[in-house]
Structure 1
Amino acid sequence: MNLSNQLVSNLTKNSMCKTLNQLKIVVLLSVLTLVTSCSTDDDNNAQNNSYTSAENVLTDIGFQGYAIITKNGNDLVRQGFGLANQSSAKPQDYNLAYRIGSVTKTLTAAAIVQLKRDGLINSFNQTLDEFDPEFPNGNQITIAQLLSHQSGIPDYQFVVEDAYEQGATLDEDDIYEVITTMILEDGLNFTPGSGKQYSNSNFLIAALLVQELSQMSYHDYIQQNIFTPLGMTNTYKGNNSINTNNHAEGYKNGNVNSTYPMTIAFGVGDFSSTPNNMEIWTDAVKNDWFTASEKAEIFAQNVPSGFVDFGLGWFTTQEGDTTMYWHGGDINGYWSMIGFVPEYNATIVLLSNNQDDSGSQRSTIIEQLLTNEFN
Structure 2
Amino acid sequence: MTTLHKLLPTFIVASSILFTSCSKDDDNTQPNNYTTVENLLNEINFQGYAIVTKNGNDLVRQGFGLANESTELPQDFNLAYRIGSVTKTLTSAAIVQLKRDGLINSFNQTLDEFDTEFPNGNQITIAQLLSHQSGIPDYQLVVEQAFEEGQTLDEADIYNVITDLIAENGLNFTPGTNKQYSNSNYLIAALLVQELSELPYHQYIQQKIFNPLDMTNSYKGANIININTHAQGYLNGNSNSTYPMTIAFGAGDFSSSPNDMETWINAVKTNWFTETEKTEIFAQDVPNGYLDFGLGWFTTQEGNTTMYWHGGDINGYWSMIGFIPEYDSTIVILSNKQDNTGLQRNTIIEQLLTNEFN
User: Which TM-score applies when normalising by structure 2?
Assistant: 0.93
Q: Deviations over 1:52-93 (max 9, x none)?
A: 011111111110000000000000000000000000100000
Which among 76, 79, 83 is matched to residue 93 of structure 1? 76
Given that 2:4 and 2:290 are in contact with CA atoms closer than 8 Å, whether structure 1 keeps it comes out as: no
How far off its partner does 1:25 sit?
A: 1.5
Whole-angstrom distance in 2 between the partners of 1:33 and 1:53: 22
* Alignment correspondent of 2:337: 354
Secondary structure in structure 2 of the residue aligned to 1:146? helix
Counterpart code for 2:48? G
Matches within 5 A, 1:275-314: 275-314=258-297
Whole-angstrom distance in 1 between the partners of 2:345 and 2:8: 12
In the alignment, is residue 256 of structure 1 matched against residue 236 of structure 2?
Answer: no
* Alignment correspondent of 1:51: 34
How far off its partner does 1:24 sit?
A: 6.0
* Alignment correspondent of 1:225: 208
Given that 1:99 and 1:272 are in contact with CA atoms closer than 8 Å, whether structure 2 keeps it comes out as: yes
Secondary structure in structure 1 of the residue aligned to 2:251? coil
* Alignment correspondent of 2:171: 188
Q: Deviations over 1:278-314 (max 9, x none)?
A: 0000110011100000000000001011110000000
Whole-angstrom distance in 2 between the partners of 1:142 and 1:234: 33
Counterpart code for 2:60? V
* Alignment correspondent of 1:326: 309
* Alignment correspondent of 2:324: 341
Matches within 5 A, 1:49-198: 50-198=33-181
Which segments of 5 or more consecutive residues in structure 1 lack a partner in the other structure? 1-22, 37-45
Secondary structure in structure 1 of the residue aligned to 2:301? strand
Counterpart code for 1:104? T
Given that 1:251 and 1:353 are in contact with CA atoms closer than 8 Å, whether structure 2 keeps it comes out as: yes
Aligned-pair identity (%): 75
Q: Which runs of 4 or more aligned residues in structure 1 lie more than 6 Å from their structure 2 counterparts after TM superposition?
A: 33-36
Whole-angstrom distance in 1 between the partners of 2:6 and 2:311: 17
Whole-angstrom distance in 2 between the partners of 1:179 and 1:148: 18
Q: Deviations over 1:146-165 (max 9, x none)?
A: 00000000000000000000
Let me know the Cα RMSD of the aligned residues.
Answer: 1.6
Whole-angstrom distance in 1 between the partners of 2:248 and 2:279: 28
* More divergent stretch after superposition (23-32 vs 293-302): 23-32
How far off its partner does 1:144 sit?
A: 0.2
Distance of aligned partners of 1:191 and 1:87 in 2 relative to their CA distance in 1, 3 Å threshold: same
Counterpart code for 2:332? V
Whole-angstrom distance in 1 between the partners of 2:302 and 2:85: 23
Whole-angstrom distance in 2 between the partners of 1:320 and 1:206: 33
How far off its partner does 1:246 sit?
A: 1.1
Given that 1:24 and 1:197 are in contact with CA atoms closer than 8 Å, whether structure 2 keeps it comes out as: no
Given that 2:132 and 2:293 are in contact with CA atoms closer than 8 Å, whether structure 1 keeps it comes out as: yes
Distance of aligned partners of 1:365 and 1:149 in 2 relative to their CA distance in 1, 3 Å threshold: same
Counterpart code for 1:237? K
Distance of aligned partners of 1:34 and 1:127 in 2 relative to their CA distance in 1, 3 Å threshold: closer
Which segments of 5 or more consecutive residues in structure 2 lack a partner in the other structure? 11-22
Counterpart code for 1:224? Q
Distance of aligned partners of 1:238 and 1:74 in 2 relative to their CA distance in 1, 3 Å threshold: same
- Give the total of aligned pairs: 342
Q: Is the radius of gyration larger for structure 1 or structure 2? A: 1
Given that 2:291 and 2:298 are in contact with CA atoms closer than 8 Å, whether structure 1 keeps it comes out as: yes
Secondary structure in structure 2 of the residue aligned to 1:188? coil
Secondary structure in structure 2 of the residue aligned to 1:178? helix
Counterpart code for 2:47? Q
How far off its partner does 1:356 sit?
A: 0.3
* More divergent stretch after superposition (23-32 vs 244-253): 23-32
Given that 1:28 and 1:308 are in contact with CA atoms closer than 8 Å, whether structure 2 keeps it comes out as: no
Whole-angstrom distance in 2 between the partners of 1:90 and 1:181: 45
Given that 2:7 and 2:300 are in contact with CA atoms closer than 8 Å, whether structure 1 keeps it comes out as: no
Whole-angstrom distance in 2 between the partners of 1:115 and 1:266: 18
Given that 2:51 and 2:333 are in contact with CA atoms closer than 8 Å, whether structure 1 keeps it comes out as: yes
* Alignment correspondent of 2:17: none
How far off its partner does 1:32 sit?
A: 4.2
Distance of aligned partners of 1:34 and 1:24 in 2 relative to their CA distance in 1, 3 Å threshold: closer
In the alignment, is residue 374 of structure 1 matched against residue 354 of structure 2?
Answer: no
Secondary structure in structure 2 of the residue aligned to 1:318? strand
How far off its partner does 1:214 sit?
A: 0.2
Whole-angstrom distance in 1 between the partners of 2:27 and 2:137: 40
* More divergent stretch after superposition (53-62 vs 136-145): 53-62
Q: Deviations over 1:181-218 (max 9, x none)?
A: 00000000000000000000000000000000000000
User: Which TM-score applies when normalising by structure 1?
Assistant: 0.89
Whole-angstrom distance in 1 between the partners of 2:289 and 2:40: 20
